[in-house]
Amino acid sequence: MAHLADIEKHIRGIPEPGAAPRAVLVVDDSRVQRKILSSALARWGYLVEEAGDGPSALSALSSGRFDFVLSDWVMPGMTGLDLCRAFRDLPRDSYGYFILLTAKTDRDEVLRGFEVGADDFLAKPVNLGELHARMQAGERILTMQRELTEKNRLVSATLAEMQRLYATLDRDLIEARKLQMTLVRERERDFGAARVSVLLRPSGHVGGDLVGYFPLSRRRVVFYAIDVAGHGVASAIMAARLAGMFTASEPEGPGNLLMSNRVATDPWPPEMVAARLNRTVLETMQVEQYFTCVYAEADLTTGQVALVQAGHPHPLVLRAGGAVERVGTGGLPVGLVPRASWDRVALRLFPGDRLVLMSDGLTEAADGSGRELGEAGLAAILRKNRALEGPSFLEALLWDVHARAGDGDLADDISAVLYEYRGSGGEGKGDGGEGNGDGRPGDEGRGKGSGPG
């Protein structure tokens, strides 16, 4: 029986318990016609009000409380067509369904009604069964509109919350970038016989690139470039952790990673540093991240450089005469394969030569057509700017890469280390302790590190 009652309610248009009944305004200059329509609508569960002309109807409609309007077309003064047009111009929070009652059957007249905003038409005299069916159709339209409005409200509220969270995250990332940039405590250091300069430009708020240097002794300098795989916060945190490993105050810093033991002053060669980094990442840090790097140790007196390349782009040597040479053997990235090994690469620099370590953000930087710069393009830029020195040389390099990209943004972090060798007759004072005659650091050990880049 309850099911039959529900069917009867649906057929009669009676709202479900708790649902607000729809409000209907009946507009007709005939009092009899108004009463016939109002009585039927009231029986179907609608809240009904009446208006005898267009102006009074428009005044009532300005309240915005009516869901339906049933209006005669032909009325003195303001016609139903005029009323519909004025109704559509009223500000409303929800849609109102407008039905024109007319004896007009001309197609052009009906089209005029649709053009001004009418939703439906009923021929006069009105058949109450047909009116009920048209009201039910309007109910479905209004229900869908109400549901859509509610969904839009939820979407807008969700979007506003997301924007608030994004603004908070954006502020945090801006601060994180400031902190990350402090990892580069010095953009350059003059060691007398050589100068080291660094460049770091994250492509987003934060990135996974890391560059730096520090003296091992008065004769020996270490410099490095690291690129943690991926982008964003996780890569930046990994880069910060690695920066700590190159800070003397850290248990895993140079005293552990670079020296044979905590007492002796004989540093591990570059290939052993890479192996120890690999073991630390896989066994101690236990993260699902890896990084590429070039780690180099340079002798300020002889110009000799020993380095290890672990998946990082090949370093380039810009000779004093303008020739560019590729250095390195490739090698596996750090943090991928347990017990991996790397080969040491040895080269010699002469006064006026420069060694450049760079991330793949430079070699893979694309122009407007998507063509990557590559090693050859980078070598051409190095030769072009060889009259510049130090940070000016690196900034010119960055400028040329941006100019080549045109209006496009660079997709990856950009970092580089520039080692400029002047020779033992170079000006300036070196940092660190005294070295032994065999080229290894003296008993005074490493000079205090400049901090990670």
Assess whether 349 and 282 both reside in one domain. Answer: yes
> Over the stretch 118-148, which tens digit does the pLDDT of each residue have?
999 898 889 999 999 999 999 999 989 888 8
Q: How many CB atoms neighbour CB 430 within 10 A?
A: 21
Going by the DSSP 8-state scheme, the letter that residue 54 receives in this structure is: H
Number of domain units in the chain: 2
User: Under DSSP, is residue 201 helix (H, G, I), strand (E, B) or coil?
Assistant: strand
Going by the DSSP 8-state scheme, the letter that residue 280 receives in this structure is: I
Q: How sure is the predictor about 347, in pLDDT bands with cuts at 50, 70 and 90?
A: very high
Q: How sure is the predictor about 248, in pLDDT bands with cuts at 50, 70 and 90?
A: very low
Domain-embedded: residue 158: no
Q: Above 80 in pLDDT, residue 153?
A: yes
C-alpha–C-alpha distance, residues 117 and 15, integer Å? 27
Domain-embedded: residue 162: no
Please give the angle made by the CA atoms of 57, 17 and 154, to the nearest 5 degrees.
75
pLDDT value at position 373?
86
Domain-embedded: residue 434: no
Domain-embedded: residue 170: no
CATH code, domain carrying 323: 3.60.40.10
CATH code, domain carrying 93: 3.40.50.2300
Q: How sure is the predictor about 329, in pLDDT bands with cuts at 50, 70 and 90?
A: confident
C-alpha–C-alpha distance, residues 151 and 289, integer Å? 41
Assess whether 65 and 131 both reside in one domain. Answer: yes
Assess whether 294 and 359 both reside in one domain. Answer: yes
Assess whether 228 and 343 both reside in one domain. Answer: yes
- The verdict on pTM exceeding 0.85 is no
Assess whether 242 and 305 both reside in one domain. Answer: yes
Domain-embedded: residue 226: yes
DSSP 122-153: EESSPPHHHHHHHHHHHHHHHHHHHHHHHHHH
Across the chain, mean pLDDT equals 81
Q: How sure is the predictor about 345, in pLDDT bands with cuts at 50, 70 and 90?
A: very high
Domain-embedded: residue 186: yes
> Over the stretch 93-108, which tens digit does the pLDDT of each residue have?
889 999 999 877 677 7
Domain-embedded: residue 163: no
Assess whether 105 and 253 both reside in one domain. Answer: no
Assess whether 191 and 244 both reside in one domain. Answer: yes
C-alpha–C-alpha distance, residues 55 and 87, integer Å? 11
Assess whether 117 and 254 both reside in one domain. Answer: no
Pairing of the two strands 291-299 and 97-102: unpaired
Assess whether 140 and 245 both reside in one domain. Answer: no
> Over the stretch 263-322, which tens digit does the pLDDT of each residue have?
445 678 999 999 989 988 888 776 778 899 999 999 999 999 999 999 999 999 999 999
Assess whether 201 and 77 both reside in one domain. Answer: no
Inter-helix orientation angle 80-88/54-61, to 10°: 20
Assess whether 73 and 220 both reside in one domain. Answer: no
Assess whether 266 and 372 both reside in one domain. Answer: yes
- Find the domain containing 312 and state its range: 182-421
Domain-embedded: residue 171: no
